[in-house]
Amino acid sequence: MGLEVVNILVINLDRQTERIVPIASQLKQLGLSWERISAVDGQRMVREIPIVAGWKLPGYDLTKRLALLACARSHVFALNKAKEAGWSQVLILEDDVILPVGFENLLSVYMDCVPEDWRVLRLGGWPSPTGKTVQVSPLWWTATKFYQTYAYITREYDALIALWEEEDGALDQTWWGFEGAYHCVPILVAAAKGFYSAIELKKNYNIMSRKRLKREWPDGFPGLVAT
């Protein structure tokens, strides 16, 4: 199975449309069609919801909480879009990702050995060193703890949305231990080296993703744009 049956959504803030230019250029080079999803704005949530009952717990940063929810809600909007469109599966990307040369061919190779029971395929991010990882096929692993959701394919909508609504937290931690979730090795999608996330209201250096890139692509990640 290749990209010919995968619909693509890219999450991007309305006030930062310039950030979508690099990934739009990459997808154009690959000849892939895609749609933009308007991200939930963390800064706007902080301004409009200064106090939320039950969220202001001792030692808890409400601004950070709202920012995490903004990120998670953006992904849930993407999942709902795919569900409502009747797509059998979807590739969801955040706007700062870097795809490799020959991405469509590489993905086809990866998909040829994916476990049959897959529900979520994480193409980027990193497993936590405090969690357990198990190799299940030549290119796919499971992880009890996995960080980042900037690039993944899913064919499971209802369960993921329900899980997020039940946990009401950061998306990557909410999906820890989700059955049928796998991540690929080597990593297939890279994140930008460093950027300010206006959704999460923080500087994000993706240090662990950079380490994964160096370890799994020792001769350099073949990015369509500089990594």
pLDDT computed for residue 72 by the predictor:
82
Length of the chain: 227
Beta carbons within 10 angstroms of residue 169's beta carbon: 13
Return contacts of 220-225, CB within 8 angstroms, 24+ apart. Answer: 221/98, 221/100, 221/190, 222/100, 222/101, 222/102, 223/98, 223/99, 223/100, 223/101, 223/190, 224/25, 224/26, 224/29, 224/30, 224/98, 224/99, 224/100, 224/101, 224/103, 225/22, 225/25, 225/26, 225/98
Is residue 38 classed as helix, strand or coil in its secondary structure? Answer: strand
Is residue 9 classed as helix, strand or coil in its secondary structure? Answer: strand
pLDDT computed for residue 53 by the predictor:
45
Q: DSSP string covering 90-157, please?
A: EEEEETTEEPBTTHHHHHHHHHHTS-TT-SEEE-SSEE-TTS-EEE-SSSEEEESSEE--SEEEES--
pLDDT computed for residue 196 by the predictor:
53
pTM for this prediction: 0.87
Burial call 68-82: b when 16+ CB within 10 Å, e when fewer? bbbbbbbbbbbbebb
Burial call 110-128: b when 16+ CB within 10 Å, e when fewer? bbeebeeebbbbbbbbbbb
Q: Per-residue pLDDT for the chain (227 aa), expressed as one digit of tens each?
A: 455 557 999 999 998 888 899 999 999 999 999 999 999 886 666 555 555 444 454 555 666 777 777 888 889 899 999 999 999 999 999 998 999 999 999 999 999 999 999 999 999 988 988 999 999 999 999 999 998 889 999 999 999 888 877 655 677 887 788 899 999 999 999 987 655 555 555 555 556 667 888 899 989 899 888 66
Q: Can you tell me the distance from the alpha carbon of 220 to that of 205, in angstroms, rounded to the nearest whole number?
A: 18
Phi, psi of 117 (to 5 degrees): -90, 15
Q: Could you give the domains of the chain?
A: 3-216 (3.90.550)
pLDDT computed for residue 4 by the predictor:
53
pLDDT computed for residue 54 by the predictor:
46
Return the ∠ at Cα 137 (arms to 159 and 10), rounded to 5°: 45
